[in-house]
Amino acid sequence: MTQSTVRTRTFVQALNEALDTSMERNPSVYMLGEDIGEMGGDFGVTRGLWTKYGDERVRDTPLSEAAIIGTAVGSAMMGMRPVAEIMFADFLGECYDQLVNNAAKMHYMFDGQFKASIVVRTACGGGFGGGPHHSQSVEGWFLNVPGMVIVAPATPADAKGLLIAAIENDNPVLFLEHKALYRIKGDVPEGYYTTPLRKAAVARQGSDVTVVATMKMVHEALAAADELAKEGIDVEVIDLRTIRPYDAETVLESVRKTGRVIVASEAPKLGGLAAELSATIGEECFHHLKAPVMRIAGLDAPIPFSLVLEKYILPGKEQVVAGIRSMIK
């Protein structure tokens, strides 16, 4: 990261800066998606870019996720670097074949003659009453797909740096943006910089227990750590940042230090990121553990429309605090 002025920006503004910076630096970068042009996207991430770059590089598309990703993959094969927006992550199922059987396998199938250097930006996560079709955490759908990169920032600074790095990466990248983070603010450097992919961040140093989390759950874990600090419990929080391939080294180093670990994920527990991390920690750190690995995750149910029921389904600070207290006893 180069030295530059640091300003306060929202998560949305940081993403917008990343797109603007990337398009300004590289004419092969273009964007496509539903209502990303004059409207500026459903969440305002692409606002102002259509005016600056025109409809050749900021392309409104029909309401067809399959067409969006199919176009992105084809143009990437011809040397472009498309950034596709899928308005809600729940509808990645509509273009799953293009992502899994085309983009993820492109480099392998053609022995490097072609590549799918695409970034798929999409809004995920619950907490706002969006119901079962607009609130899912979908990282588990793609965890076992070789060739895919999954990025999940938790802060505005990382949102910008990781998005620029993702656009410059030659692999297909699924870039997850948790809707509950869009309006949070943080310090963001001005101008061009990248945050390395596959490198976790130690969001908080601690010695008693490790919490490994992504996206919104990083903030829930930090809030839990602040509360438990008043009780003399020192919590280390690891922000994974890249989900696939994840930074196992940083996670395992922390667990060997603390001897206790919670993996916190908003997605359902079965077959997801929490299960994968727990297995790796169990295999690599068994003799360092003072307590069994604990998973804190969403319940195994569709996300309800009711905000009361949604709060019951999704994990938060309270579950992290309770889990750590039970582990420390």
Active-site positions read 134
CA distance 219 to 172: 27
Q: What's the DSSP call for residue 79?
A: T
Are 328 and 262 spatial neighbours (Cβ–Cβ below 8 Å)?
A: no
CA distance 73 to 107: 12
Are 246 and 196 spatial neighbours (Cβ–Cβ below 8 Å)?
A: no
Q: Peptide bond preceding 245: is omega within 30 degrees of 0, i.e. cis?
A: yes
Are 248 and 280 spatial neighbours (Cβ–Cβ below 8 Å)?
A: yes
At 31 the three-state DSSP class reads strand
Mention every residue, 6+ apart, whose C-beta is less than 8 A from residue 124.
88, 89, 90, 136, 137, 138, 139, 176, 177, 178, 179, 215
CA distance 208 to 221: 14
